[in-house]
Structure 1
């Protein structure tokens, strides 16, 4: 079903990032930015949880084959994400702020299963 909706991977990614943002807003987080891009990589969502900055990686997988969405956060991706976060903090002069990195795994066709993991690293 999803294959017919999306014309490219980017649009599919945007759809699931919006779904994750909507889910996190319902959990009380405030959206700050989406798709921050720098030379080190991309941060899917940047949000705030009261006074804590939350940097969110979003992954979607249609099936559990090869481990599903939950198993896609590789060590290399963590390094790129960490560097991107440092760059964001420099760009927006965020010093001595509370922060955490969360992971949202979206699995399956409609209805989707959403797993929100706080403090993944």
Structure 2
């Protein structure tokens, strides 16, 4: 298996673990890996009436920095653009927010750090 394929499989497994963890904390999974113009939304979830776009960031170890530190302004713009595309494609008009879940460790020992409303659309 090529290294990129292995990394992608690990990434999907971490995203699935994050979705389960968030579901255990009251959110409901709507969709995952939504590709849109200019970006990808890892998880789309519901928190009551609010649609939540979740970016999952993973690092095996925190020696090289916290996974949350990797959400740059450019990444935020791509996520907002992808979310707008998703809302338009689904013909949705509802309250939305952007959450970030930082995941540290390796399966099955993962630690989750959840920031609700991590940034705003602009």
Q: 2:96 aligns with which of 75, 81, 99?
A: 99
Deviates more, 1:19-28 or 1:59-68: 59-68
The SS at the match of 1:119 is: strand
Distance in 1 (CA, whole Å) between partners of 2:73 and 2:61 is: 22
Q: 1:29-50 CA deviation, whole Å, 9 max, x = no partner?
A: 1100000001211000000011
What is the root-mean-square deviation in Å for CA atoms of aligned residues?
1.4
Q: TM-score, normalised by structure 1?
A: 0.89
Distance in 1 (CA, whole Å) between partners of 2:12 and 2:109 is: 17
The alignment of Structure 1 onto Structure 2 pairs a total of residues equal to 115
The SS at the match of 1:25 is: helix
The SS at the match of 2:61 is: coil
1:3 aligns with: none
Distance in 1 (CA, whole Å) between partners of 2:114 and 2:43 is: 13
Structure 1, unpaired ranges of 5+: 1-5
Q: Which runs of 4+ in 1 moved over 3 A?
A: none
- Contact 2:102 2:114 survives alignment (8 Å): yes
| 1:42-121 matched pairs, under 5 angstroms | 42-95=40-93, 97-109=94-106, 110-121=108-119
Distance apart, 1:68 and its partner CA: 2.2
Structure 2, unpaired ranges of 5+: none
- Contact 2:53 2:98 survives alignment (8 Å): yes
- Contact 1:54 1:99 survives alignment (8 Å): yes
- Contact 1:62 1:68 survives alignment (8 Å): no
Distance in 2 (CA, whole Å) between partners of 1:67 and 1:75 is: 17
Distance apart, 1:25 and its partner CA: 0.5
